[in-house]
Each structure stands twice: as C-alpha cells, then as structure tokens.
Amino acid sequence: MRIAIITLTVILASVFLAVAVPKLTGQAQMRDRMSHLGVSAGLTRLLGVLEIAAVVGLLLGLLWWPVGVAAAIGVTLQMIGAVVYHARARDPLPVTLVPLAFALAAAALAVLHVANG
C-alpha cells in the first residue's frame, strides 16, 4: 500500500505544482482560462497559493500521514469546486471530468493514508 501512497502523492504534487505556478505568475493563458470560468485574478492567485500549500502538505504526508490526509481532503474539495465552475461555464464533459478525476485520486489518497496509518 505504501507504493500506492507514494505514487499518488508524487503524481498529485507534480500536477498541482504545474498548475499553481502559472496561477501565481499570472500567465496570460491561465488568466484567460480562469476568466472564462468567472474566477477573478485575486481568487486565481489564492487558488495558486492553496495549490502550493497542497503540494507541501501532500509531500509532508509521506512523513506524517495526518498531514497527507488533510492535504488530500483539501485537494478533493478544491477539485469538486473546479468541477462546479467548469459545469457552470458549460465546458465540454471531458474538460469537466479532469478535475473530477483528480478529486477521486486525492480522495483515494486520503483513504490509503488512513488505512495505512
């Protein structure tokens, strides 16, 4: 089970680091995508900060599982929010399913941490 925890942690941390940086640096493409969803520049930066915190929490969770559970739950909730925003923007189903897949992966990580705890 430890291999699954490490694998999911590395995947989620890598993805969230990759999407947090453009939000924090204000890259034009990310600003356009977030604007399409109705997300302000300030909220976009806040989401970037939360994603960096998630990366740190996920990685620290490899050392102390309660932190990993908290980070994974936070990621799950943020991705559920992303699904709602994509659905409200009437994005195509495949676009809306991407954050749902990450929400499920993060929820699975939380469960694995608790089961392995």
The proportion of the chain whose per-residue pLDDT surpasses 70, expressed as a percent, equals: 100
pLDDT at position 117: 80
**Cα distances (Å, whole numbers) of residue 110 to 36, 41, 64, 85:** 31, 30, 12, 24
Confidence label for 102 from pLDDT (cuts 50, 70 and 90): very high
pLDDT of residue 66: 98
Task: Summarize pLDDT for 21-44 with one digit per residue, the tens.
Answer: 999 999 999 999 999 999 999 999
